Structure 1
Amino acid sequence: MANSAQTQPGGAQPVGSCFPKLTFILDQGKQFGPRVGRLCLTRPSDTPSNHLIDIPTPNFLIGTSRGVIPHFSRDHVHSANGISWINVSFESFLEQTPPVPTYQAGSQPLHDFFGFDSSKHIVSLSLRDPLDAREMPPNGNSHVSASCMRGVRKVTPADWRSYVLTMQPDIAFALSDTPFTAVPHSQKRMTKSIERSAAWLADLLRPVEHTMDDSSTESTPTALNVFVHMAGGTSTSARRAFSHSFMETLHGLEADAVKPLLCLDEGVAGYAFDLAALHVRPAPSSTHNDKGGGIEIAESSLILQNSELLAQAPTPNAAHTPTSISSSMIEPISLLSLTPTLDELLRASLDPLPIAKPRLVTDVRSPHEILRLIKDVGVDVFDAGWAVKAADIGVALDLIFPVPCSHDSDPDHRKRDVGHNLYDAKYAYDFVRLSDAFLAGCDRTSSSKTPVCPCAACSPVAITSPIYHSKVDVQSHQAHLDEGTSREQFSPPFTRAYLHHLLHTHEMSAHTLLVAHNVAVLDALLTGVRTILSGHVDQHEVATIFAREVTRFEEVYDGDMSVFHTARENWKDVKYARGKGRLAREAQKGKEVR
């Protein structure tokens, strides 16, 4: 079931100078609270695209499945201007040894293999999908359990380092010993988790050894841009202990291994928080075979693992605890708060760390959670997984931040839904654009203050110039070439009724249009956040104004995301409506579970 990836991947390992330089500029903000900055990636001069990618923060990244953004073709990716950071989960390629992407040659193998634009897209590489919270076999002292289409594979730190140096990602995520087994986790397990995570981070930061002309070897410091997953689970003291472990000055053999770094944090480019392991795990009877429970969305985005069971876990004898991190650094579980909030856990990890490094959070579940984490913690980057999952179940997002005065709650004091469930029969004859908060491209006027949604569903573009397939076509349309550049015109938007029809007929283009729209709305949400935070100089005034806008957003929009739950049930009904064979059996099982 679990085989180790022992064969080295194809391709030579590059020296550290081949990697781009990632810098984070904090324009405004403090340790905790709303802040704005810029994430800048500068590629070396010897690469085909010597280009500076500048991403304003707060912003988002989008994940992939086998290197493909769900429901998107490469043309869709290139046309979506809001997508700047793409993450590739490498575990899905481990069914082959060595993995197929490692055979890609060139100076930018990761971009070339997956077809991303190196002048526009930052591409990061992680071993595991951060949204996949399925129960996994436990990790060992020298391996991480990863899931691929042929089962579970054991990936050693040496394997992962080899994959990273071969694929040359813009950003690499260090291995983390995150327990994906049933709670409770004992104090001893927490100690192992933070020890292993720190050791695996140190292994990735080791200098790169390469052979010189005289057959001698030379060590070059890695220029990897490494993000580290903040370990510690639901224990605030364990999280502080992990942060302190790579802030401490190294000595002896540990210092020689990562020389010239004085501490591990000097080699860290940013901090990542995976919330998938913190959110409530679905009941065994309702566990789905898809990653992270398929399209399931938590009832509450701030619910953590069962802290009462965690408090009952036995505290092991300190004599059996590994020596690199003393058990005295972690408070006994029985003394911990039984209800740690999400912001308390993130603050515990960030408190000992430098302020001027980017903070990434994955598996957020709602726009409300995004705004709260910006307000209370100061998170810089979020993943767009919840917006993509909304498109999976036929929800077109319809929200705006800051909320205009005209967007009050309904007269009966019902909060607005964050989107439209286009599976609902009421949209069968609703021939309007997907969003009420945004205009379509063809409706844009110079006097209107309502923003325009630039997505392919709301602002489809009709190209007026011909498409050339050969030199003969160019000669046939010489008049168009003489006129100059091609002109683009906006076509009428795709309507809710049309998307309702596509969803009920199982057309794949429905989800493509919905992903394009939802990602554009998410981009607009974070653009609104940056606009507010950049509009004032006084930080205290900025925090006050932003908190007021967040409160108004929570008062206007439904934080329970009830439209998602309704849409999920409608999605199941449509999926199994014409089911035969396996689909029919799954539909019957679904009825029995209900």
Structure 2
Amino acid sequence: MRHPSLTFTLPPGVPKFGPRVGRVTLTRDGAGDASTSTAGTGRMLITMDTPNILVGTSRGVVPHLSRDHTHESDAIQWLHVPFESFLEQNPPIPTLQNGPHPLHRFLGFDKDRHIASLSLRDPLDMREMPPNGNTYVSANCVRGVKKVTLSDWRRYVYDMQPDVVFALTDTPFTPPPYSQKRVTKSIERSTAWVADIIRSIPSDAGASEPHTPRLSRHPLNVLVHMAGGTSLPAREAFAHGLRGRLHGPEADAVKPLRCLDEGITGYVFDLAVLRGIKPSSNTSQRQSMPDDFLRLERPEMLEHPESIAGAPTPRMTEEVGLTASGVLSISELSVQPDITSMLKASLGGLSEQKPRLVTGIRSPHEILRLIRDVGIDIFDVAWAMNAANLGVALDFVFPVPASNAGDARQSLGHNLYDPIYKHQFGCIADMFVGAGESADEGAMGRQVCPCIACSPRAPSSPISHSTVDMQSHATSMTGGEAITRYEKPYSRAYIHHLLHTHEMSAHALLMAHNLAVVSAFLAGVRRIWAETEDEGRSARFAVEVERFSDTYEESGGLFIAAKKDWEYVDKARGKGRLAREREKQEDDKDE
């Protein structure tokens, strides 16, 4: 069976940095439906317009959503699987799946609709880990830390056959500062590990050439984590290593590639690492800290401790780079570069014709800034999924309607734990309307949210669980097609009730809704780009970004309040619950 091929197309004349709209196309063997099959070729195309989202999973499952929910969601097109959670067994259970498309079959993804990517580690997991070695990476599973060698990872990848694979990278998850030797070693290891995953397949490996012509003889679609930490020169050095001409044994291993970048499909940036978050054994998974929690790592800090006291502060704005002698000065290394500068340092010498993916996003404001200033194509939505965990229903659109511009700054959503929603029976989002609502109920001028919370669909026919059920019920059809009937949206009051009674369906409804809101948000970005003339696209987009920033609050006050309410409701159970609730009500009255 042929491995799928991922291609990325952009309009001609796209600058290296700045807003852009493209298309990701995955070509795979198999007869898909009419919307995905290429007539007469036996191949299937899955297309995804960018900017767009990547949905992370936990052990291959989108949190709170069933397989049916995942299949029905229009927002879920690209699913990402961190493989370390399967390492408790040897060999890992997913690698035992036989037949075509083993990763999709094992996890229940739809091969006709879903792009599945695989990485060893969860890019949002910032827990402290033992250091990596020259030939292995430390990964975390339920039975502790496992050492995964390069050959192990290569074997897992070829057994699982993901659509996209993330190359291993040597990211230190020990408390900084890091010595110059450690930073250099990280770059060298990461470069060598990229070369290992893209080296040519032996003739007896049984894999065939990909669908589309490539320079390399490996069939994988490889995304590379751009290494270098928070040091701009280190990030530039790693990018230079990817595009540098290979010679000798290194060139023979990846022949006929002239450089590593020719065998790479795209680039990945993990913002959790770039923010300087301190790894800690007590830090729970996916927990993040403020941007200025840690200062920039200082490669020479351990070697020259006397320079710490007199070092400039992170607020300095001078440019970081090499001195005339090519050596980093102390003042240069003490500057904390911003996220945009670090991403540009990595991408400056690389092709703009490859997709750029970012993980660790914190808000829609940050998404818009990275689109405007850098030109990022794919964003993970862990922040929106965490909002659903905390009982927050997102409620924002892009571009901001004229009727909303100029008003007081609005929140990004609603904390449905709050008692003010106890008797609110409208749709959970003000900016959206359900497909089952009519125009006379105020639906005019608002987008339709297709999620299962705003547009719940009644089954078009009885649900059959066996052949007996199929014989007992005749499928209700009209003109040979099933009728789709939408129910009224679930109200804020109903979801507020579900949250306070610890019903799992509350988080399922919120998860589906939040993913739909972020998907519609990026669809608005693409729509602005399509509706504007070429000359004025960037200018109009910049204006719309400013309007969005002026309309919606970026601070995390909403999520902080939701987390407090979630913790209270989570603990308000069991013996003595009524007494605790009565005590809280009395405290609220006193305030």
State the TM bucket, normalised to the shorter chain: 0.7 to 0.9
Matches within 5 A, 1:259-298: 259-281=255-277, 287-288=282-283, 290-293=284-287, 297-298=288-289
Match of 1:38 among 23, 33, 46: 23
Instruction: Note the 1:165-564 alignment, pairs <5 A.
Output: 165-211=158-204, 221-281=217-277, 287-288=282-283, 290-293=284-287, 297-299=288-290, 302-303=291-292, 305-307=294-296, 312-314=301-303, 331-332=328-329, 334-336=331-333, 338-408=335-405, 410=407, 413=408, 415-445=409-439, 448-478=444-474, 480=476, 484-539=480-535, 541-564=536-559
Cα 1:142–1:547 change in 2 (3 A) is: same
User: Which moves more between the two structures, 146-155 or 336-345?
Assistant: 336-345
Specify whether residues 374 and 127 from structure 1 end up closer, same or farther in structure 2 by C-alpha distance, changes over 3 A only: same
Query: Contact 1:417 / 1:561 at 8 angstroms: preserved in 2?
Result: no
Contact conserved, 1:241 with 1:329, CA < 8 A, in 2? no
5+ long unaligned stretches in structure 2: 38-42, 207-215, 306-324, 577-591
- Return the offset for 1:242: 0.1
Secondary structure of 2:349 counterpart: coil
Output the CA distance in 1 between the equivalents of 2:168 and 2:251: 20
Secondary structure of 2:109's counterpart equals coil
Q: Is the 8 A contact 2:392 2:413 kept in 1?
A: yes
Equivalent pair of 2:128/2:175 in contact (CA under 8 Å): yes
Q: What percent identity do the matched residue pairs reach?
A: 53
Residue pairs, 1:97-136, within 5 angstroms? 97-136=90-129
CA distance in 1, matches of 2:231, 2:445: 47
Q: 1:144 aligns to what?
A: 137
Partner SS, residue 88 of structure 1 = strand
Offset of 1:472 from its aligned partner? Answer: 4.8
Give the structure 1 partner of residue 311 of structure 2: none
* Alpha-carbon distance, 1:136 to partner: 1.0
Task: For residue 311 of structure 1, report the CA deviation from its aligned partner.
Answer: 7.0
8 Å contact from structure 1 (residues 269, 358) kept in 2: yes
Query: Are the aligned partners of 2:180 and 2:300 in contact in 1 as well (CA < 8 Å)?
Result: no
1:27 maps to amino acid: P
Over 3 Å counting, the alpha-carbon distance change for 1:21 and 1:421 in structure 2 is: same
Contact 1:440 1:453 in 2 (8 A): yes
Cα drift, residue 298 of structure 1: 4.1
> Does structure 1 retain, via aligned residues, the 8 Å contact 2:83–2:120?
yes
8 Å CA contact retained: 2:399, 2:548: yes
Shift of 1:229: 0.1
CA contact (8 A) 1:432 1:496 kept: yes
Residues 237 and 330, structure 1, Cα contact 8 Å, conserved in 2: no
Show the counterpart of 1:26: 10
Q: 1:209 to 1:304 in 2, by over 3 A?
A: farther
Amino acid at match of 1:486: A
The alignment partner of 2:436 has SS state of helix
Residue 67 in structure 1 maps to residue 60 in structure 2: yes
How far apart are residue 535 of structure 1 and its match? 2.2
Q: Deviations over 1:169-228 (max 9, x none)?
A: 000000000111111122211111110000000000111224399xxxxxx921100000
Letter in 2 for 1:208: I
Which stretch shifts more, 162-171 or 472-481?
472-481
CA distance 1:382–1:133, shift in 2 (3 Å): same
The one-letter amino acid paired with 2:66 is S
Q: Any conservation in 2 of the 1:315–1:332 contact (CA below 8 Å)?
A: no
Note closer, same or farther for the CA distance 1:350–1:477 as it changes in structure 2 (3 Å cut): same
CA 487–284 in structure 1, closer or farther in 2 if over 3 Å, else same:
same
Q: Which residue of 1 aligns with 2:317?
A: none
* Contact 1:85-1:124 within 8 A present in 2 as well: yes
Paired with 1:474 and 1:27, the residues of 2 have a C-alpha distance of 50
Specify whether residues 531 and 70 from structure 1 end up closer, same or farther in structure 2 by C-alpha distance, changes over 3 A only: same
Q: TM-score, normalised by structure 2?
A: 0.86
SS at match of 1:153: strand
Q: Residue 309 of structure 1: CA displacement?
A: 5.9
* In structure 2, C-alpha distance between the alignment counterparts of 1:314 and 1:237, rounded to whole Å: 19
Residue 485 of structure 2 aligns to a residue whose secondary structure is strand
User: How far apart are 1:284 and its partner, in Å?
Assistant: 6.2
In structure 1, distance between residues paired with 2:277 and 2:447: 38
CA–CA separation in structure 1 for the residues paired with 2:470 and 2:232 = 66
- Return the alpha-carbon distance in structure 2 between the equivalents of residues 330 and 85 of structure 1: 42
Give the secondary-structure state (helix, strand or coil) at the position aligned to 1:550: helix
Structure 1 stretches lacking a partner, 5+ long: 1-16, 214-219, 317-327, 582-594
Query: Cα–Cα, structure 1 residues 578 and 254, in superposed 2: closer, same or farther, change >3 Å?
Result: same
2:565 aligned with 1:570: yes
Indicate how the Cα distance of structure 1 residues 203 and 491 shifts in structure 2: closer, same or farther if over 3 A, else same. Answer: same
For 2:220 and 2:566, how far apart are their aligned partners in 1?
Answer: 43
1:4-15 equivalences under 5 Å are: none
Partner amino acid, structure 1, of 2:184: T
Distance in 2 of aligned mates of 1:138 and 1:354: 32
- What residue number does 1:5 align with? none
Query: What is the rounded CA distance, in whole Å, between the counterparts of 1:93 and 1:24 in structure 2?
Result: 30
Native 8 Å contact 1:186 1:315 kept in 2: no
- Label 1:284 to 1:467 Cα distance change in 2 as closer, same or farther (>3 A): closer
Shift in CA distance, 336/542, structure 1 to aligned 2, threshold 3 Å: farther
User: SS at the partner of 1:510?
Assistant: helix
Structure 2 counterpart of 1:36, which letter? V
- Does the 8 Å contact 1:363/1:385 carry over to 2? yes
How many pairs are equivalent? 537
Q: Which amino acid aligns with 1:549?
A: E
- Contact kept? 1:243, 1:349, Cα under 8 Å: yes
Structure 1 residue 429, shift from structure 2 partner? 1.0
In the alignment, the residues of structure 2 paired with residue 271 and residue 329 of structure 1 have an alpha-carbon distance, to the nearest angstrom, of 27
Q: Deviations over 1:25-67 (max 9, x none)?
A: 0126310010000000001369998310110000010011111
* Distance (whole Å) between structure 1 residues aligned to residue 503 and residue 205 of structure 2: 57
Q: Deviations over 1:562-587 (max 9, x none)?
A: 10111011111111122679xxxxxx
CA contact (8 A) 2:32 2:44 kept: no
Query: Separation in 1 of the partners of 2:478 and 2:363?
Result: 50
Question: In structure 1, what is the Cα distance between the partners aligned to 2:304 and 2:53?
Answer: 39
Whether the aligned pair in 2 keeps the contact of 1:187 and 1:315 (CA below 8 Å) is no
1:426-459 Cα shifts (integer Å, max 9, x gaps) = 1111111110011111125499332111100000
Post-superposition Cα deviations, 1:497-528, rounded to whole Å, max 9, x if no partner, equal 11111111111111000000000000011000
Cα 1:236/1:444, change in 2 over 3 Å:
farther
Stretch of structure 1 that moved more, 135-144 or 236-245: 135-144
CA RMSD of aligned residues (A): 2.5
Deviation at 1:330, TM superposition (A): 7.1
Distance 2:10 2:300 in 1: 39
- Separation in structure 1 between the aligned mates of residue 298 and residue 5 of structure 2, nearest angstrom: 44
Q: Structure 1 residues 280 and 570, CA, compared in 2 at 3 Å: closer, same or farther?
A: farther
What is the CA deviation profile of residues 10-37 of structure 1, one whole-angstrom value per residue up to 9, with x for unaligned ones? xxxxxxx721111000126310010000
Preserved CA contact (<8 Å) 1:175 1:197 = yes
